[in-house]
Structure 1
Amino acid sequence: MISLLVVGSIVLAIILGYKTRINIGLFAIAFAYLIGCFGMGLSPTAIIKMWPLKIFFIIFSVSLFYSFATINGTLEKLAEHLMYRCRNVPHLLPYAIFATSTLISGLGAGYYTVLAFMAPITLLLCQRTGMSMIIGAMSVSYGALAGANFMSSQSGIIFQGIMMNVGISTEQAFINSIGIFISTAIIPVLVITSLIFFTKHRHNMQHSAFNIEVPTPFTREQKTTLWLTIIMMALVLLAPIAHLIAPHNDTIAFINSKMNIGLIASLFSVIALLLKLGDERKAIASLPWGTLIMICGVGMLISVAIKAGTINLLASWIGTSIPSYLVPVAFGVVAAFMSLFASTLGVVTPALFPIVPSIAQSLSIDPMMLFICIIVGAQATAISPFSSGGSLILGACPNEKSRSKLFPQLLFRAAPIGFIAALTYNLVITFAI
């Protein structure tokens, strides 16, 4: 009975968040308190301890450092320079949009930040060049997602944190995140290539000519910010990669054991402030507080579900009701459906990742396969106008007319194309590996 109540509360939190536009995490915290304390007899202190402090600290610290690149204009300037480079090959513009979005997102801007300033640029280019808004929207969304999934970027860090919370080792979580990043980088290239060369896009843009003004040079602060970002990414990535290559080297093992991306990012934030690369108050104000509340709030409710045995019950049902060879694909389909209306980071991964270890163990499936299928499925429909990503793209439309035109295209063309591509990919890796 309690398990059914917990599942119902998760669904209700998503519905209420969507209908009222109030952060889903706040509803999740309320339900965690009511069900945990009054339905299960837990103490208020026990409920408060379910706040995922480790994940919160990592997201907070990393986002704080990367916010300097946003507020001092480094990322926007980088986008301008990269777009300027491709002005002579207009029909390949979607690749440039995808690559630019991936790079900037991978440098730490995160999915929502990249969409916030790349989506308006992309839709403006669609108007000026005749490029399909569907191709433009999918290129920028796919790029922002793929880059954010990079091991040292926002989503990649969140995925690793949730994996470690459900019992996956730090080393294995890092390896899993590499698999997720590679998968979510391959699919967009295949989809964009198909849209460019097997639709009217290439013909429409073959003789297109558009002008992009020569961007101004990087300032001293922006150059320093870029170098700091590259150094931090190198520190975060080199130690675990070196440990994977030479697991028995004591020196590398010692250094790797002292690496923590949250603490490293905090150190680099102090360096950025000492170098006056941005205003402290603006940096803190630009943090993704809504995402933090959503992830941690849903995390509390999921912890209540684990305590109630709901996760084990759900894992047992999946293990006995679905053929084992279809379980990864089924996870991808469920994640895709959830992502039509809810956030991948805030809802889908906190809800589905905890089920993976027990399912993988009982059915002898590689957990990485399940994690990849979940993210591939979830991000396939992130462009839906009902999801946070799609709504940001709609909000970037220059006028109501283009917004009304783009809405059905995102819902009935972009989301289905993404879903079919993800389903195909998940089927291939399920039966091929």
Structure 2
Amino acid sequence: MVVLVLSVLVLSIALGYITKINIGFFSIIGAYFIGCFGLGMKPSEVTELWPVKIFFIIFAVTLFYNFALANGALERLAGHLLYRCRKYPYLLPLAIFGASTIIAALGAGFYTVLAFMAPITLLLCQKTKMNLVIGGMAVNYGALAGANFMTSQSGIIFRSLMESSGVESSTSFAYATSIFVVTIIIPIVVLGLYTFFNRKNSNIQIEDIQPEPFNSAQKKSLFLIVLMMAVVLVFPILHLILPEQETITFLNSKIDIAFIAVLFALISLLMKLADEKKVVALVPWGTLIMICGVGMLISLGVKVGIIEMLTNWLTQNVPVWLIPILLCLISAVMSIFSSTLGVVAPTLFPIVPAIAAASGLNPMILFICIVAGAQSSSISPFSSGGSLIMGSAPEGIDKNKLFNQLLFRAIPVGVFAAIIAIIALNITL
């Protein structure tokens, strides 16, 4: 069954690539036949494998930000960002990374930041002739690194998963801090090297023209974006400051970025900030079908015991020094087709204590390997990061070309950088 699931996954990708039909359709049918006829599951049980949470988050967040896209607010904002960087165009990738990191570290979360920054970044690539791969990596790296901050969305999830695996609270905070440090150093090195070696031959062109001011609808859209971020941030921050306050704890537990985004989308409709049909049409439906369809097949793989098989194999057949590198690669492969937060970390974090005990390795290194590996390939068009980037591509950008660049250029660079970082970490520690 393990071989069958992996074979169907590879076949789905190949058929989608050859026929130009959404890979999600092939994956859904593959999950249906394997689940119902191979594993004896009921059709309703296979249906429940559809990743509702990921679907709803991407749908809700992109729906709200589509108002700013439809009325031109994001394009105008991109123009202002361009103007600010006009004297140092070769630093634009680092500027995008820095802005994404700061917003995500403040607590906005990976999906929110990427949904906001990806359209701006791709517009900048289109306007300035900046490399699409570098632009995509800059915004994706920034959203990931910032979200990994100990008090931000991903950092909190990582800490919770560690503690549920038996790690003490104070130790989990230290491990989460290490994850944040490593995942912010890797992109700085990658983007910094690119900037350094391309500073004289950079093709980035920024016109020294003062952009037009925002109109009323654009100002209102940007105000709602800032207000939504404030709503999403205020209660988690207050909860950190006043953890014993029951009212704040209750409200913090009820705040959800997807529902808040739908609320603000409704407010935008009532304020008539953009045409409803245009906004709904801009939702990346094809991307949603692809990521959720593949997610169903991956969930079947988890059910048939791929993870248990890998754990036993790692601890019994692999040299100790090679385990961190292989764990990094396994995470990277999983993340190509699934979410780091939704699949990779919840699946692999629980096996870390057992592997550490059996091999004598530092658990911190293994946790870092999982996150660094997963996030090195999270720009995959089959995963949440790459799918949001694909869904944010404006008219004029060849999505088939972007798909290939993300899959065959961005992922290899990210995985190679992660492996180098893990090797350096092993040598250092």
**Fold-level similarity (TM above 0.5):** yes
Find the residue that maps to 1:247 and give its secondary structure. coil
Distance, in Å, in 1 between the alignment partners of 2:28 and 2:159 is 21
The equivalent position to 2:352 in structure 1, one of 353, 360, 369, is 360
CA shift, 1:11, in A, is 2.3
Structure 2 letter corresponding to 1:146: Y
Contact preservation (8 Å) 1:101, 1:114: no
Q: Which amino acid aligns with 1:362?
A: A
Compute the displacement of 1:228 (Å): 1.3
Going from structure 1 to structure 2, the CA distance change for 1:38 and 1:418 (only over 3 Å counts) comes to: closer
**Structure 1 equivalent of residue 125 of structure 2:** 119
Question: Partner residue of 2:226?
Answer: 230
The alpha carbon displacement at 1:263 in A equals: 1.5
- The equivalent of 1:61 in structure 2 is 60
Which residue number corresponds to residue 214 of structure 2? 218
Residue 360 of structure 2 corresponds to none
Which residue is equivalent to 1:109? Answer: 115
How far off is 1:211 after superposition? Answer: 3.2
Contact 1:122/1:137 (<8 A) preserved:
no
1:38 aligns with 2:37: yes
Aligned partner of 1:375 in structure 2 is 374
Do the aligned partners of 1:163 and 1:353 also contact (CA within 8 Å) in 2?
Answer: no
In the alignment, what sits opposite 2:76?
77
Q: Per the alignment, do residues 238 and 425 of structure 1 end up closer, same or farther by CA in structure 2, a change over 3 Å counting?
A: farther
1:169-201, CA deviations, whole angstroms, 9 ceiling, x for partnerless residues? 9xx9xx99998777555433322322333x3x3
Counterpart check, 1:288 vs 2:294: no
Once residues 123 and 77 of structure 2 are traced to their aligned partners in structure 1, the CA distance between those partners, rounded to angstroms, is: 12
1:307 pairs with 2:303: yes
Quote how far apart the aligned CAs of 1:80 are: 0.7
Letter in 2 for 1:5: L
> 8 Å contact 1:295–1:347 — kept in the other structure?
no
Q: Over aligned residue pairs, what C-alpha RMSD do you find?
A: 4.5
Specify whether residues 185 and 166 from structure 1 end up closer, same or farther in structure 2 by C-alpha distance, changes over 3 A only: closer
Q: Check whether the contact 2:77–2:120 (CA below 8 A) recurs between aligned residues.
A: no
SS at match of 1:270: helix
Query: How do 1:22-421 and structure 2 match up within 5 A?
Result: 22-96=21-95, 98-99=97-98, 107-109=113-115, 113-114=119-120, 116-123=122-129, 136-149=131-144, 151=147, 184-197=183-196, 199=197, 201-204=198-201, 211-323=207-319, 326-334=322-330, 336=332, 338=333, 344=336, 346=338, 352-353=344-345, 355-364=347-356, 365-366=363-364, 368-379=367-378, 417-421=413-417
| Cα 1:368/1:95, change in 2 over 3 Å | same
1:82-108 CA-to-partner distances (Å, cap 9, x unmatched) read: 111122234434434555777799645
Deviation at 1:120, TM superposition (A): 1.6
Rounded to whole Å, the distance in 1 between the matches of 2:427 and 2:243 is 31
Q: Secondary structure at the match of 2:377?
A: helix
Distance 2:82 2:76 in 1: 10
Amino acid at match of 2:300: V
Matched AA of 2:3: L
Distance in structure 2 (CA, Å) of the matches to 1:5 and 1:284: 37
Give structure 1 stretches of 5+ with no counterpart: 127-135
Amino acid at match of 1:118: L
Paired amino acid for 2:126: P
Comparing 364-373 and 254-263, the one that deviates more:
364-373
Aligned equivalents of 1:321 and 1:237: distance in 2? 46
Q: CA deviation at 1:143?
A: 2.1
AA aligned to 2:297 is L
Aligned length: 395
- Contact 1:298 / 1:350 at 8 angstroms: preserved in 2? no
Instruction: State the secondary structure of the residue aligned to 1:287.
Output: coil
* Distance in 2 between residues matched to 1:283 and 1:159, nearest whole Å: 32
Q: Share of identical aligned residues, percent?
A: 38
**Structure 2: any 5+ residue segments left out of the alignment?**
105-110, 357-362
Structure 1 position 372, deviation (Å): 1.7
**Preserved contact between residue 72 and residue 278 of structure 1 (Cα < 8 Å):** yes
1:424 corresponds to which of 399, 412, 420? 420
Assess, with a 3 A threshold, how the Cα gap between structure 1 residues 232 and 272 changes in structure 2: closer, same or farther.
same
Provide the TM-score with structure 1 as the length reference: 0.74
> Which stretch of structure 1 is more off in the superposition, 421-430 or 7-16?
421-430
Deviation (angstroms), 1:361: 3.7
Report the 3-state secondary structure (helix = DSSP H, G, I; strand = E; otherwise coil) of the residue aligned with 1:41.
Answer: coil
Aligned CA distance change for structure 1 residues 417 and 295 (closer, same or farther; 3 Å)? closer
Q: In terms of mean alpha carbon deviation, does 222-231 or 105-114 score higher?
A: 105-114
